[in-house]
Amino acid sequence: MKGCVFCKVIQKKIPAQIVYEDKESLAFLDAFPCSVGQTLVIPKKHSCYIFDIEDRDYAKLLLKTKKIAKAIDKSLKPIRTIVVVEGFMIDHVHVRLHPCYERHLSLKPLEPRPSEKELEKTAMKIRSALN
């Protein structure tokens, strides 16, 4: 969809720290994370509402989300990883994975924001846990 930030990430028009990609989906670190390793998992096919996507695509997206969450758990060692599905801030279906390092998760963006080098290092850890 024209103007969609996530579609631009998929098309590599906007840089992102990609941790996983296949023909149907993309997972990348959130540029404005609330916790280290916060990852977005998105379908490559643009859709605004998760319950409008085909059942098969929905199941695949959630199974890939589980795979990414397990890699986050293995590589970053949070207490657990929480999943949130939303679609208001950016009008493209996205599953947000929040690694929780404390029992209470703050939903305020980290300050200072992680540098590109820090994001790259975190992405590399998660990617290596996927293999």
User: Catalytic positions, please?
Assistant: 94
Task: Establish whether the linkage from the previous residue to 112 is cis, with ω within 30° of 0.
Answer: yes
Pairing label, strands 25-29, 18-21 = antiparallel
Burial of 118 (0-12, 13-18, 19+ CB in 10 A): middle
The two structure tokens encoding residue 128: 């290596």
CA 72 to chain centre: 11
CA distances from 76 to 45, 64, 117 (A): 29, 18, 16
